[in-house]
Chain A
Amino acid sequence: MQPNWLLIVYYLLLWGSARVRGTYRRWRQPLLRGPEWFFNVHVQPDFYTGPGRKILNRYWIRIFVSYLIEVPLTIAIFVSGHFMYLIWLILGIAAFIHAFHVFSVDMAERQARQFAVSEAEQPVAAIALSLTSRRLRDYSNFRLETAIALSLVISFSWLAYYYFSTPEHHHFREVFAAPLFWLYVQMGFLLAKLVIVAWRAPIPQTQAEEHLAAREETRKLYIKACDRARVLLSIGILSWPILLSVPPAIMGRVNTIQLTAVLLLGMVLGIWQEIRRKRLLDVTLRARPVKFPELLGQSQALKWPLCYQPSVPMIVLKGVRGYSLNLANQLTQLGAAYLAGLFVLLALLRIGH
């Protein structure tokens, strides 16, 4: 099978099924806790027969916004024949879906709060913050980390040998561009893992055990997702010197084998992800949502999506018009530096083309 056809199959089969599953999951999400709840808002009994029906319908419509963006772009890619852009489309749409869903749920919950049960909207009196230290190595599989490190050493050693053996025949970008980019993305997932492990937030003192269990399960799921991405990227990096070294006569066949393997691995990991997600749901549903007290209060000065408030070091601050990303937070700065580095790397990889 030609690589282009494999990409199309990957896009329609794997990505398509993930999209359908994700859409179905987000569709059901408002009612997961039962008819007395709208997401994490405890609503009045007539909510869904009254004003809640409109709020729910608007949320459901917003689920399909990503399709309005994806479908025209997909058509454009198919018409142009540049099927490699499907990979960039998947990455971009995945990032958009996650970010937009957070915004959509927040909007829906805020609209529903005016119809919430008044007792449920009272903040809990006592909160607790765990001071038990968490280390990255407590959430890392030593064998997996060794395998990833070893695969990277082998890959780059092989590439270096390939490049220096006949440098007059090979272009630096041709040999190193893709692996360097994937390595940088892999570092991003490692950074995300660090943030997930270090992240702390208070829990209600009354339901401490349930909330702790839910947080721990969520943490483990996201960490596994990061490790899964790192494994897939390592496989990509390891396959690059193989693809460069094979004779042109069998290049097509090797490409087919590689893409088929990625397709199968993606399907297996997708099924695994769904099983883990179901387990997470069972645990998180036991933790009753509560409203936390505003220890800092709402800031009148925050009117923009970005702010710089060094005296209040949280990542996100609550302002008059919504939330504001705090550029004084070290993690925000690290994230911004990483994104800047990504753009610089992409620009550098195009130089000389």
Chain B
Amino acid sequence: MFLTINIDDARPIYQQVADGIKELIARGKLAEGTPLPPVRQLAADLGVNLNTIATAYRELQKEGLIAVKHGSGSVVASRTTTERDQDELLRPLRTALTQMVLAGLPENKILKLVMSELNAVGKGNK
């Protein structure tokens, strides 16, 4: 179970941390109720500023993915269906598909890649 940071990625580090934890939750590797490392500890382990991790955790808390209990740290929250605009959810998918088409990938290959990722990420939804 790994959190990955890529310095060539255009996203800021806090976003990569937040997205990485979201992915682990989606894949079921961080189950409901699993405690997350404390902000200070994760910042020390990664070698980043405290505020970077605090910002990542705040974003996750805002999206309802983690629950912060003062004194006992953060835990993965229970998954509840949230009302989100379908268009907003489709936007990143549209961007990724556009990039794949522009890269010259055939349609069947794109479909294969998408299904493979869905299977991997969707495991956490079962």
Query: Which residue on chain B has the smallest CB distance to residue A201?
Result: B45
Q: In the complex, what distance in Å separates the CA atom of A200 from the CA atom of B1? A: 13
Residue numbers in B under 8 Å from A200 (CB-CB): 45
| Category for how many chain A residues contact B | 20 to 34
Say which residue of B3, B37, B44, B51 sits within 8 Å of A128 (CB atoms). Answer: B3
Which stretch (B4-12, B65-73, B87-95, B97-105) binds chain A?
A: B4-12
Query: Which residue on chain B has the smallest CB distance to residue A312?
Result: B49
Q: How many A-B residue pairs have CB under 8 A?
A: 69
For residue B77, CB closer than 8 A to chain A, the reply is no
Residue among B3, B13, B43, B44 with most chain A CB within 10 A: B44
* Distance in Å: Cβ of B118 to nearest Cβ of chain A: 23
Total count of chain B residues near the partner, CB < 8 A: 24
Task: Type the 1/0 row for A115-156, where 1 means its CB is closer than 8 Å to any CB of B.
Answer: 000000001011111111000000000000000000000000
Task: Type the 1/0 row for A313-327, where 1 means its CB is closer than 8 Å to any CB of B.
Answer: 111000000000000
A131 touches B44 (CB 8 A): no
Residue numbers in A under 8 Å from B51 (CB-CB): 311
Q: In the complex, what distance in Å separates the CA atom of A314 from the CA atom of B6? A: 20
Task: Type the 1/0 row for B18-42, where 1 means its CB is closer than 8 Å to any CB of A.
Answer: 0000001000001000000100111
B2 touches A312 (CB 8 A): no
A295 touches B46 (CB 8 A): yes
Residue numbers in B under 8 Å from A296 (CB-CB): 47-49
For residue B113, CB closer than 8 A to chain A, the reply is no
Residue numbers in B under 8 Å from A129 (CB-CB): 2-5, 42, 45-46
Query: Which residue on chain A has the smallest CB distance to residue B17?
Result: A129
Given the interface contacts A295-B46, A295-B48, A296-B48, does A313 sit within 8 Å of B40 by beta carbon?
yes
Query: Which residue on chain B has the smallest CB distance to residue A318?
Result: B47
Say which residue of A126, A132, A292, A311 sits within 8 Å of B6 (CB atoms). Answer: A126
Q: In the complex, what distance in Å separates the CA atom of A6 from the CA atom of B5? A: 56
Task: Type the 1/0 row for A187-226, where 1 means its CB is closer than 8 Å to any CB of B.
Answer: 0000000000000111001001000000000000000000
Q: Hey, which bits of chain B sit against chain A, CB under 8 A?
A: 1-8, 13, 24, 30, 37, 40-51
